Chain A
Amino acid sequence: MERKPYWNPYVAGVGLGLTMLLSFVVLGTGLGASGAIARGAASVAHAVDPVALESNAYMGGWFADGSPLAYYLVFMAVGVLVGGFVSAAAAGRVQLSVERGPRIGATGRIAFALAGGLLAGFASRMAGGCTSGLALSGMSAWIPGGWVFLIAMFAVGFAVAPLVRKEWTA
């Protein structure tokens, strides 16, 4: 199937903003993604070492009422997976691949994705959210923490970018 172009960023932005508004009005909270990843990881780790997880100062509380997966953001993440797949499939964009610039191999690119994931996972727990739950949702509800998170994120992102230029550009 032919790959269709992405939509205009301003159209997608309005769609995303209205989705955020719907979340504010229906749930009373914004959108989120990193919380579901942390809870998924906690659930897997719990299968290996239940005592360590249940006694953990940060994640222990998630097991108080049963599974850490019984949480609205986990269901939202499942929705994101399905919605993302439907959109990608309809546009002919579903394809197994490792996305990378022309100057890096697939193995190197996966290594960078792993390193970035470690940092982003750690950092989103420290900050209490990620680009979705803290930056996008927080900024939309006038939370100062969302704005400072975004500023710090872009400042360091732009500072680090020249060091990993070969990962992305020709």
Chain B
Amino acid sequence: MTFFEAGSLATPAAFVAAALIGLAFGFWLERAGFGSSRKLAGIFYLRDFAVVQVMFTAVVTALVGLFVLQSAGIATPTSLFTLDTTLGPQILGGAIFGAGFVLAGWCPGTALVGAASGKLDAVAFLLAAGVGSLGYASIYGKLADFNTVGACGAITLPEVLGVPIGVLTAAVLAVALVMFAVIARIERARSTEVSA
């Protein structure tokens, strides 16, 4: 049973578990090179594909893993918190976030790793992100109407599309593999250009 299912996410045991998972999270982000804002921003100039490679490998790994665990009955849908989908704020939020990401070269998780490795631009990002969060809280009352635009509740794509989870997982895996093959082709072409 997960801490969420047991209603014990706010207990010391869950805090310890979250901290240990955070250790691994930070380690892998740093190993991927995500303690570097130039490397992160590189995706927006198609100069460095690590952001897409790492993100989609992680998502596919988790999707396949979750499918296997759910098929084996080890993970159940009720053991997992289902985030609400609210299309309006999530699309506009994603759009504003994208601008912030390319201006700063950081997102919140990677900036934590950047700050831990001495990047002062990451420290600046984190401080400003705190101020931005307070800014949102200060106008939250005025956004009441907007915050329900496109509210769908706790839904998942297999439900919405009416497609079995195994089929969707295979489809995302196939798309990811095609994307990785295209990236490999671009990188190969560039390395021959350099050596020529």
Contacts and interface: CB of A to CB of B under 8 A. Distances in A.
Interface of A: 6-7, 9-31, 33-34, 36-38, 40-42, 44-45, 56-59, 65, 70-73, 75-88, 91, 93-101, 109-110, 112-132, 134-161, 164-165, 167-169
A17 B130 CA distance: 27
15 contacts: A12-B31, A13-B61, A21-B66, A29-B2, A29-B9, A79-B25, A83-B24, A83-B27, A86-B23, A98-B119, A112-B105, A113-B125, A120-B100, A126-B89, A152-B91
B195 to A, nearest CB: 19
A128 B83 contact: yes
B132 A31 contact: no
Nearest to B156: A142
Given A19-B28, A110-B124, 9 more contacts: A56-B140, A87-B27, A94-B117, A99-B119, A116-B100, A126-B136, A130-B107, A145-B87, A155-B95
A122 to B, nearest CB: 4
Interface of A is mostly: helix
Contact of A58 (B47, B58, B140): B140
Contacts of B96: 119-120, 122-123, 126, 156
Given A25-B69, A114-B128, A121-B132, A13 B26 contact: no
A18 B61 contact: yes
Contact of B61 (A21, A122, A151): A21
Interface in B7-23: 9-10, 14-23
Contact of B89 (A82, A83, A88, A128): A128
Interface in B119-145: 119-122, 124-138, 140-141, 143
Contacts, number: 519
A20 B59 CA distance: 9
A98 B27 contact: no
Given A98-B119, A139-B59, A141-B83, A83 B74 contact: no
Interface in B44-91: 44-45, 47, 49-50, 53-63, 65-66, 69, 74-75, 79-87, 89-91
Contacts of B120: 96-98, 110
A130 B109 contact: yes
A85 B98 contact: no
Most buried by B among A7, A101, A153: A153
B37 A99 contact: yes
Given A37-B126, A84-B117, A88-B113, A17 B57 contact: yes
Nearest to A87: B30
Contacts of A75: 15-16, 18-19, 22
Contact of A72 (B14, B56, B160): B14
Contacts of B16: 75
